[in-house]
């Protein structure tokens, strides 16, 4: 059994770089994947990822058992949406989206990633958001409902609809 998130946060704040590396390893790929799909810009997503982890260093996050994942993804979502609202970033997003999808970093699962990206792009924004927050963020329905300011039942139907649509798309691309 590894160290808990809360334990790692406390150690990180005390300057324990090794503890921070464990924490980073635990969340960086999921958070970055989420941010990348939110802003469609690798450099911006990396900047935002850095900001999200910085909040752990500050006293804004009070360690509570089992809460770090939700906190990090909420923070990532807020920062991603704020960045998206920036007019310049939005313009850059359209230019960089092609780069993100064509930069060759998805070698192993290029076809599957491409199919998933297409399937995700076809979803409504809030459906896609619910799916990603659940699938890799691990947020509960209640947490997603708070983030999206909708009832839990709405989150559930959004998630079910999104999963159904993505699976259908995958099955279509396989046949």
Q: Which is nearer to another protein, 14 or 87 (CB)?
A: 14
Query: Alpha-carbon distance 145 to 151, whole Å?
Result: 6
Q: Which is nearer to another protein, 74 or 166 (CB)?
A: 166
Q: Taking each helix axis from N to C terminus, what angle separates 42-57 and 17-39, rounded to the nearest 10 degrees?
A: 140
Q: Which is nearer to another protein, 61 or 170 (CB)?
A: 170
Q: Which is nearer to another protein, 71 or 141 (CB)?
A: 141
Query: Alpha-carbon distance 155 to 159, whole Å?
Result: 6
Binding site for another protein (CB under 8 A): 12-17, 20-21, 24, 28-30, 32-34, 36-37, 42, 45-46, 49-50, 53-54, 57, 105, 109, 112-113, 116, 131-132, 134-136, 140-141, 156, 159-160, 163, 166-167, 170
Q: How far is the CB of 164 from another protein (least distance, A)?
A: 9
Query: 40: which residues sit within 8 A by CB, 6+ positions away?
Result: 93, 96, 97, 100
Alpha helices in 4-86 (DSSP H): 5-13, 17-39, 42-57, 68-85
Q: How far is the CB of 85 from another protein (least distance, A)?
A: 22
């Amino acid at each position: 059994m590894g160290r808990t998130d809360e334990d790692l946060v406390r150690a990180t704040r005390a300057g324990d770089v090794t503890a921070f590396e464990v924490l980073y390893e635990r969340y960086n790929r999921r958070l970055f994947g989420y941010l990348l799909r939110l802003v469609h810009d690798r450099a911006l997503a990396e900047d935002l990822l850095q900001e999200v982890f910085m909040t752990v260093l500050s006293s804004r996050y009070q360690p509570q058992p089992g809460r770090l994942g939700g906190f990090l993804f909420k923070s990532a979502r807020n920062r991603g949406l704020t960045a998206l609202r920036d007019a310049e970033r939005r313009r850059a997003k359209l230019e960089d989206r092609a780069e993100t999808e064509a930069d060759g970093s998805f070698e192993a699962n290029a076809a599957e990633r491409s199919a998933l990206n297409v399937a995700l792009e076809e979803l409504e924004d809030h459906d896609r958001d619910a799916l990603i927050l659940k699938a890799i963020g691990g947020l509960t329905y209640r947490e997603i409902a708070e983030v999206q300011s909708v009832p839990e039942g709405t989150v559930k139907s959004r998630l079910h609809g999104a999963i159904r649509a993505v699976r259908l798309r995958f099955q279509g691309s396989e046949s």
